Amino acid sequence: MNESPKLIIGNWKMNGLRAGTHQLMCEIVQRARGLPADVRLVVCPPFTQIERAGRILRARGVGQSIVVGGQDCHMSACGAHTGDISAEMLADVGARYVVLGHSERRQAHGETDALIRLKVRAAMSVGLVPVVCIGETMHERQEGRAASVLASQIDGSLTSDFDGILAYEPIWAIGSGVTPSRDELERTLYLLGGLLRSRLKKDDIRVPILYGGSVTPDQAHAILSIRSIGGVLVGNASLDAQRFMQIAEAASSHLSSQPLSGPYSS
């Protein structure tokens, strides 16, 4: 099987007007020209800027090295859902990926695992790659329940035929500037790999596992040096082209020293 690229996904959240999007995308494109083909960038601006971002990428002929994604989608294809965006609408304006189940959606909008699973199904039905976020709170971590929480989120959020990406974002790390230790992260990745292997009804499971949660250029080298990491989901740092590309370059620097692999390779 072909090896998957390292994925560097930027989640802009509720940031980005037309002028700023143009400037940021142009800077990202310019800085990305030296990246190897096996590092892929995914930029997830707010819905209002997806088409603009995609137009800039097409005009500069970046091919598949940089693509755009959405930050959420509705579980239904269409209907009376004021203010919502369907997966097909995202695909129609050029999105290739969609982030689902982010902790901010789970907490601020009360999204459940069952709802996220319906969104996953909707995304896959139109060819979008779902990036499903899971993670434990500090309270759950301190009580020793992190493993059971992650298992429950995987069971509830993923379909049995899931064909996408899993993003581990410990809630206690988001926006804190703190990340798990290398040993903690490696143990969690091993756990997640086992859970995916036992839950998904597929003979060959190649679900990339990303890390998200206060990813900065300073931390990127250590995180991306872990063999089983498929990439990173970047929040605040993705709004600065220099910082975002420093993270992407950290992925590039590790490609020559270790093979890219799925989360279950030895």
pLDDT band at 140 (very low <50, low <70, confident <90, very high): very high
Q: Are 4 and 260 in contact (CB under 8 A)?
A: yes
pLDDT band at 202 (very low <50, low <70, confident <90, very high): low
Residue 3 has a pLDDT of 58
Q: Are 249 and 218 in contact (CB under 8 A)?
A: no
Query: With 90 as the cut, is the pLDDT of residue 211 above it?
Result: yes
Residue 259 has a pLDDT of 41
What would the pLDDT profile of 141-179 be if each residue is shown by its tens digit? 999 999 999 999 999 999 999 999 999 999 988 877 777
Residue 248 has a pLDDT of 96
Among this protein's residues, is 169 annotated catalytic? Answer: yes
Query: With 80 as the cut, is the pLDDT of residue 87 above it?
Result: yes
Query: With 70 as the cut, is the pLDDT of residue 204 above it?
Result: no
Query: With 70 as the cut, is the pLDDT of residue 182 above it?
Result: yes
Residue 4 has a pLDDT of 74
CA 36/CA 15 separation, integer angstroms: 28
C-alpha dihedral sign at 14, 229, 208, 31: positive
The mean pLDDT value for 87-99 works out to 98
Residue 49 has a pLDDT of 98
What would the pLDDT profile of 102-114 be if each residue is shown by its tens digit? 999 999 999 999 9
Helices (H) and strands (E) in the chain, counts: 10, 8
Which listed residue (104, 136, 140, 169) is catalytic? 169
Q: Which helix (H) or strand (E) holds 130?
A: strand 129-134
CA 105/CA 119 separation, integer angstroms: 12
Which listed residue (74, 102, 104, 140) is catalytic? 102
CA 20/CA 83 separation, integer angstroms: 23
pTM for the full model?
0.92
C-alpha dihedral sign at 11, 73, 262, 66: negative
Q: Are 234 and 163 in contact (CB under 8 A)?
A: no
3 state DSSP class of 99: strand
- Shortest CA distance to 47 belongs to which of 70, 67, 16, 66? 70
Among this protein's residues, is 104 annotated catalytic? Answer: no
The class level of CATH for 6-255 reads alpha beta
What would the pLDDT profile of 119-136 be if each residue is shown by its tens digit? 999 999 999 999 999 999
Q: Are 122 and 159 in contact (CB under 8 A)?
A: no
Summarize the annotated binding site for substrate as residue ranges: 11-13, 175, 214
pLDDT band at 237 (very low <50, low <70, confident <90, very high): very high
- As a whole number, the mean pLDDT across the chain is 91
Q: Are 149 and 185 in contact (CB under 8 A)?
A: no
Query: With 50 as the cut, is the pLDDT of residue 77 above it?
Result: yes
Summarize the annotated binding site as residue ranges: 11-13, 175, 214
* Sequence spans of domains, the chain: 6-255
CA 85/CA 187 separation, integer angstroms: 36
What would the pLDDT profile of 15-25 be if each residue is shown by its tens digit? 999 999 999 99
Q: Which two tokens stand for residue 230?
A: 């498929």
pLDDT band at 2 (very low <50, low <70, confident <90, very high): very low
What would the pLDDT profile of 37-57 be if each residue is shown by its tens digit? 889 999 999 999 999 999 999
